[in-house]
Each structure stands twice: as structure tokens, then as C-alpha cells.
A and B are shown apart, each in its own frame.
Chain A
């Protein structure tokens, strides 16, 4: 598909669109750090009361009761924090703007949102059990919750984080596609001229861009099939890295075009 911008209004529209994209990227980047600052927090100081309770006369009835109370308090905080963490992620996944035409992405969004919702329900159920725990039971509860998180919550949460990045990639890839078509048109025109360097740089750009598209598609399929989050993240990174190289080749191609048109 060939495309050429000639109307001033069209040029302005494209410029504005790209400026908005860059700003959105910066905002997203900043928001990611802001989110970390606003997440649930635990510090060593929160364990001071527990250490104090454990520091009394060993085996005394009062000591056990005090330690258990502190442990339950901490477990409640951990579960509340886990619920907040899952809810925040679920909200971010739900707010992703995905076009109705992208059925597969819509499906991934629904799946991830459902899984995070199930995790929230699980946490709620676990929280209701904390009141009945004994000292050993509270330790087992903590160990079980940690195991469950590692086996169930974390893969889904990582996939959700990967999906958020993947959705952001689609806008970038769309703009890269337009750029690819635009420069490709110029390169086609220059085939009539002797431009070996142009064709060589452009060939690299084509190869890298195709690889970026392929890895992007692969990431979507991994997310769709509940594949390991490490795999989807690797595919996303690989796609972006290929896209980055593609842009470098765009610069090289344009430079070669300039050189061909203005030989010194």
C-alpha cells in the first residue's frame, strides 16, 4: 500500500499525531514509576512489633497470644495489599483501548480480566479465614499463600503487564507501518537510479520490520494461549528491538537517498 501526504492539513495531522504518541509514551513511562510509588508498601519497621512479641519470655501464654495477634495483623495487611495490587492491574487491563476489529486482543483482555477477578475473589476468601488461625496455622497460611501466588497469581499478573505493553506497541507499529510504506515508495522510485547502498539499507529495514511484525504476532499468540509470561515478554522485547533497528535503517536509507540525489 502506497501513501503520500501532500495536503498541508494532512501533514499537520500526522505531526500532531506523532507528537501525541511521544507524549503518551512519556506519560506512560512516568506513570509506571508513579504506580510503583503508590503501590502497597512494606518495610522492615512493620516487623518491629512482631520481633518485640517474640522477644519476651519464651513459651509464656501471653507471649504467644501477642505474637499471634501481630501475625494476623500483618497477614491481613498482606492480603489487603494483594487485593489492591490485583484490582489495580485488573483496572488497567480493563481500560486498555482495543479496537472492536481486534477480536484476539479483546479475547486476551477478557481472559486476563477474568483471571485477575478470580484472584481477587480468592484473596477475599483467604482473608475471611485469618481470624480463626492459630500460631502454626498462621505460618502455614503465609506459606500457602506465597505458594499460591507464585503458581497462580504471578503468571497471570505478569501476562497482564505484558499485555499492557503489547497493546501500547500496536500504535507504535501502526505508525512504523505508515513510515515503512512512505519510505518504501521513495525507494521504489529510486530503483531507476543507481542506488546500491539505498537498496542494501532498505533491504535491512524490510527484514527487521518483518521480524518485528512476526514477533509481535507471536507475542499475541502466546498471550492468547496462556503461554509462559517470560515467552510473551521475550517476544515483545524482540519485536521492539527489531523495530528500533528498523528505524535506524530508515535513517540510513534516507541518508543514502540524500547522498544519491546530491552527490558531492
Chain B
């Protein structure tokens, strides 16, 4: 028997059937190695926590009488904004008053306080034509009234 025949015999060698079955059962029944890591523990706890929180929320909504209609209710909106709407309306009223202010009044008028001098010394006493023009016309006895730039120019043109 030479080497070649020996090799041909090896080809036909098979394991014992019982041994094969035992070996396979042993492999399949061996539990996988569990890798314990910090991240794994954390993830597991988070998963559990999230599940509990979700369950709690569902119970709260069910018992608490959650209503989608109430959540989207226009009434809710109206109640919330009533004060704001009033404030906005007031802002518009203020703006309207501003728009109604006369330009002349807001830019070129003023107040004086020396009325008595004017009354005493004279432009309105009628002794001078120029005095009448400067003091009498607009004044009408009230020399403290303010006059605008254009009124001053009008007086100075006479």
C-alpha cells in the first residue's frame, strides 16, 4: 500500500454519527457571550425610561380629558389676545391723533409771557399804523398769544 492508496482511504472516513450529533447540540446550546458595557446599560435604561414616560403621558391624556378641539380652539386664541388687541387698537388711535395734528401747529408756534408790556407800550393802542399792524390785528387784546414765522414775515413786510 503506497501513500496514494492511503490518501484515498482518508477521503472516505466519516465521524461517528452520535459524536456528530452531540457536538452540534453542544455548540448550539452554548449561550452567546454577553458584552457588558456602560453605554449598553445606559441605552437600556433610557429605553425603559422612555417607555414609562410615554405610558404615563398616555394615561395622563386619557384621564385628563385631552381634547384636540380645545387645543386648537379659536376661543383659546381670542381670550389670550384680548388685551393685546386692545393695546394695538389704542396704538392706532394715537397714530390717528398724530396724523390729525396740524403741521403749522407742531413746528412754528409758541408761547410768550410778556403780554403786559405789549399792552402797556403800545402797538395796539392805535397811535401808530405800524403798531396796529404788528400788534392789533392778530392780538385782539391778547398780546401773549404766539405767532408763527409766517405771521412774523407778514408783519415785517408791512
In the assembled complex, the Cα of A143 lies from the Cα of B115 at a distance in Å of 26
Main secondary structure of the interface of A (DSSP, over half): helix
Residue pair B94, A29 in contact (C-beta under 8 Å): yes
Interface residues on A, range: 35 or more
Residue pair A15, B84 in contact (C-beta under 8 Å): yes
Across the A-B interface, give the 9 residue pairs with the lowest CB-CB distance, nearest first: A43-B112, A41-B110, A186-B74, A142-B156, A143-B157, A45-B114, A146-B153, A51-B123, A254-B78
Chain A residues with Cβ below 8 Å from B98 are 28-29, 32, 165, 168
Tell whether A61 is near chain B: CB-to-CB under 8 Å.
Answer: no
Residue pair A35, B130 in contact (C-beta under 8 Å): no
Residue pair B127, A55 in contact (C-beta under 8 Å): yes
Residue pair B147, A43 in contact (C-beta under 8 Å): yes
In the assembled complex, the Cα of A146 lies from the Cα of B108 at a distance in Å of 13
Which residues 111-148 of B sit at the A interface, judged by CB distance below 8 A?
Answer: 111-115, 117-118, 121-123, 127-128, 130-131, 134-135, 138-139, 143-148
In the assembled complex, the Cα of A157 lies from the Cα of B82 at a distance in Å of 39
Chain A residues with Cβ below 8 Å from B74 are 183, 186-187, 189-190, 257, 261
**Given A43-B112, A44-B123, A247-B88, 14 extra CB contacts under 8 A:** A15-B84, A25-B94, A36-B109, A39-B110, A43-B144, A55-B122, A78-B153, A139-B156, A142-B153, A146-B154, A158-B103, A165-B98, A172-B88, A172-B95
Most chain A CB within a 10 A radius of its CB, from B88, B118, B123: B88
Chain B residues with Cβ below 8 Å from A78 are 149, 152-153, 156
Tell whether A150 is near chain B: CB-to-CB under 8 Å.
Answer: yes
Q: Can you offer 13 A-B residue contacts whose CB atoms are under 8 A?
A: A36-B106, A36-B107, A40-B108, A41-B146, A51-B123, A74-B156, A82-B149, A146-B150, A169-B95, A183-B77, A229-B103, A251-B85, A262-B75
Chain A: which residue is nearest B151 at the CB level?
A42
Tell whether A91 is near chain B: CB-to-CB under 8 Å.
Answer: no
Chain B: which residue is nearest A41 at the CB level?
B110
Chain B: which residue is nearest A171 at the CB level?
B91
Tell whether A217 is near chain B: CB-to-CB under 8 Å.
Answer: no
Residue pair B111, A233 in contact (C-beta under 8 Å): no
Chain B residues with Cβ below 8 Å from A40 are 108, 110, 149
Partner of B112, one of A37, A41, A161: A41
Proximity string of chain A (126-148) to chain B, C-beta cutoff 8 Å, 1 when within and 0 when not: 00000000000011101101100
Residue pair B94, A19 in contact (C-beta under 8 Å): no
Q: How far is the CB of B73 from chain A (nearest CB, A)?
A: 7
Chain B residues with Cβ below 8 Å from A222 are none
Q: How far is the CB of B50 from chain A (nearest CB, A)?
A: 23
Residue pair B107, A157 in contact (C-beta under 8 Å): yes
In the assembled complex, the Cα of A29 lies from the Cα of B100 at a distance in Å of 11
Which residues 145-186 of A sit at the B interface, judged by CB distance below 8 A?
Answer: 145-146, 149-150, 154, 157-158, 161, 165, 168-169, 172, 175-176, 179, 182-183, 186
In the assembled complex, the Cα of A242 lies from the Cα of B73 at a distance in Å of 28
Partner of B131, one of A51, A75, A241, A250: A51
Residue pair B82, A254 in contact (C-beta under 8 Å): yes
Chain A residues with Cβ below 8 Å from B85 are 179, 247, 250-251, 254
Chain A residues with Cβ below 8 Å from B107 are 35-36, 39, 85, 89, 157, 161
Residue pair B149, A14 in contact (C-beta under 8 Å): no
Chain B residues with Cβ below 8 Å from A26 are 94
Chain B: which residue is nearest A164 at the CB level?
B98
Residue pair B106, A149 in contact (C-beta under 8 Å): no
Chain A residues with Cβ below 8 Å from B57 are none
